[in-house]
Amino acid sequence: MYLQAMAARLSRGITNADIGTTIKDPFVDYATLAKGFGVYGEGPIRDPDALAPALKRAIAMVKSGQPALLDRLAAVAAIAGALVAGVVTSRAEDAPAGDPVNGKRLYLADGCFECHGRAGQGGRFNYLTPALAQIALPVESFIAFLREAPNDMPSFSADVLSDKDAADIHAYLSSLPGPKAAKDIPPNLNQ
């Protein structure tokens, strides 16, 4: 948000606010970098169907005592990397139960709505921000994602946002209705 404020203050527009502050076009090839350090690396993985087999290979490497890195562009990268790195060790049944009422309070108080919308509908910041209503991520993956967020999204350590609070936000996002199917939207919005 600072970059956008400074761009506006200097009358430069926000479309180029990320120049010099992000690494993209081209994106960093993390898998090749990992291989250069003797670490098993695979990617970049762009096909969602290829992620599960790649994750199994990487987990097998970790179980054999070797470090591994999966490079998947955007959000799945952080989740897969956290899983492979062993950051996410709890199972779904061990995940904290969430309180959607407190989750809504935290979602608004922590400023999540500024990029992802008040109803979790997503939006546009320096790039498209994903819709979070009816979130498909399991709560433990959501928490891992918050700990090591990509791009301009701030990361939230456990000291800043506890697992319980993160689970509350997840419960709130899960309670939202999500987008309507195109067939359910009237052709004339005045109807």
State the CATH number of the domain containing residue 111. Answer: 1.10.760.10
Q: Residue 115: its pLDDT value, please?
A: 87
Q: Is 141 helix (H, G, I), strand (E, B) or coil?
A: helix
Per residue in 59-77, pLDDT tens? 888 889 889 888 865 444 4
DSSP character at residue 183: G
Q: Residue 160: its pLDDT value, please?
A: 93
* Residue 61 structural domain: 30-85
164 located within any domain: yes
User: What's the number of domains the chain is made of?
Assistant: 2
Instruction: Out of 49, 68, 85, pick the residue that ends a domain.
Output: 85
Distance CA 154, CA 105 (A): 18
Distance CA 51, CA 80 (A): 8
Looking at the structure, tell me whether residues 152 and 135 fall in a common domain.
yes
pTM of the model: 0.50
Q: Residue 87: its pLDDT value, please?
A: 43
Q: Residue 80: its pLDDT value, please?
A: 46
Residue 190, amino acid: N
Looking at the structure, tell me whether residues 99 and 165 fall in a common domain.
yes
Rounded CA Rg of the chain: 19
Buried b (16+ CB within 10 A) or exposed e, 132-157: bbebebebbbbbbbbbbeeebbeebe
Residues of the chain with pLDDT under 50: 74-78, 80-93
14 located within any domain: no
Q: Residue 77: its pLDDT value, please?
A: 45
